[in-house]
Structure 1
């Protein structure tokens, strides 16, 4: 058995592995590689002793077929297993340990297991992917993110949207010789949807500054996007910037006068705007008699 090595270390998390049997160092997994793994001797505990496994984990819960695509996991535990796999060679067997603590240093979860990387299907590096494959991957991550948000896994959904956006960024600059105008438009539309979805996630945690930035980015590409105007309005309200919020919601209503959410938000804002106008009128009256 080899010496234990640290894969990742933070205050709240430590990931270690110890090689039992080395593998072929010329074949290692990276982004989008298909891995076949075998898990045995899995033990899970917390500060109170033996405990149940993290319920969102796909790798450590049944049914699991042993197949892992690097970069396609959502649970924090599964993503950490991906980190371990990327530090393994095809054919390698190791003992892995994943330890999680809270902000006070108390043990929340400790997983010990034996991992065998049975097979690795090598893929191209992302830098070598075609624009079509990058776009396809972005759509995949976006759709998965939407489902995670529906399942109330907001943080995991946001991570998927961010990953999709990175795929689109990798396409730039758009080569007009290989991407026609219609495809370029689809890429822009997907980018706008991702900015909107990420803004929605940020609003769930009242991160109004981040929401404002994301909506502004969406509106840069699509100035008449009602969702972006509505969500930026909410962000402005959260930042107590009522006049800016009013301007956005009025723009949204000018584009779609029947949008119920915008109508409700305008009615909610109206007393604030009336008070601002009233206070302004008082100031002017004092200044000019």
Structure 2
């Protein structure tokens, strides 16, 4: 594993966008970093994946958008926050997962992934009642995922017994 600050410098040198680039180009750069993070995550390299997701998160906070790019920005932001949450779940950083998912839910109150990941985090810190209600809410929103959520609900209910 590389030194984190060295890796950040290398990412910036490699992908540095000129000052006059459009927000669309910056969003494409952020998407490419997210994809690299996805690859690292699927290889089990959680620490490097976290960095690849965190860096675009910072960059997204600096982009000034025109109205036509706002929807893409929001979708990409939610995706990055939820993927950061997935990485942090693997590291058992449940409080951070709950915070990230709550941020997503404050902007997108029907985001089933956010409810599901926040429920897993709540279960991880022994807050089974919160996990239960998040799972119930997620199952109401997305009937297609009902089977997966029902299984997790059953697991959480068994913790009450």
User: With structure 2 as the length reference, what TM-score do the two structures score?
Assistant: 0.85
Distance 1:231 1:81 in 2: 28
Instruction: Give the drift of 1:272.
Output: 3.3
Please name the residue that 2:48 is paired with. Answer: 156
For the pair 1:202 / 2:88, whether they are aligned, the reply is yes
- CA distance in structure 2 between the partners assigned to 1:164 and 1:82 by the alignment: 11
CA distance in structure 1 between the aligned counterparts of 2:53 and 2:113, rounded to whole angstroms: 16
| Deviation at residue 169 of structure 1 after TM alignment | 0.6
- 2:150 corresponds to: 263
TM (normalized to structure 1)? 0.50
Contact 1:134 1:170 in 2 (8 A): no
CA distance in 2, matches of 1:81, 1:266: 40
Q: CA RMSD in A?
A: 2.7
CA distance in 1, matches of 2:100, 2:28: 23
- Decide which structure has the larger Cα Rg and report it: 1
* Structure 1 or 2: more helix by fraction: 2
Q: Match of 2:67?
A: 180
What is the rounded CA distance, in whole Å, between the counterparts of 1:257 and 1:193 in structure 2? 21
Q: How many residues are aligned here? A: 158
**Correspondence list, 1:90-169, <5 A:** 129-169=21-61
| Cα distance in structure 2, aligned partners of 1:265 and 1:248 | 11
* Structure 1: tracts of 5 or more residues without a match: 1-74, 87-119, 276-289
Return the offset for 1:77: 5.3
List structure 1 segments (4+ residues) > 4 angstroms apart after TM superposition.
Answer: 81-84, 123-126
Quick check: 1:237 aligned with 2:123? Answer: yes
Give per-residue Cα distances to partners, 1:129-168, cap 9 Å, x unaligned: 4322221111111111001111111111110111111121
Q: Structure 2 unaligned runs (5+)?
A: none
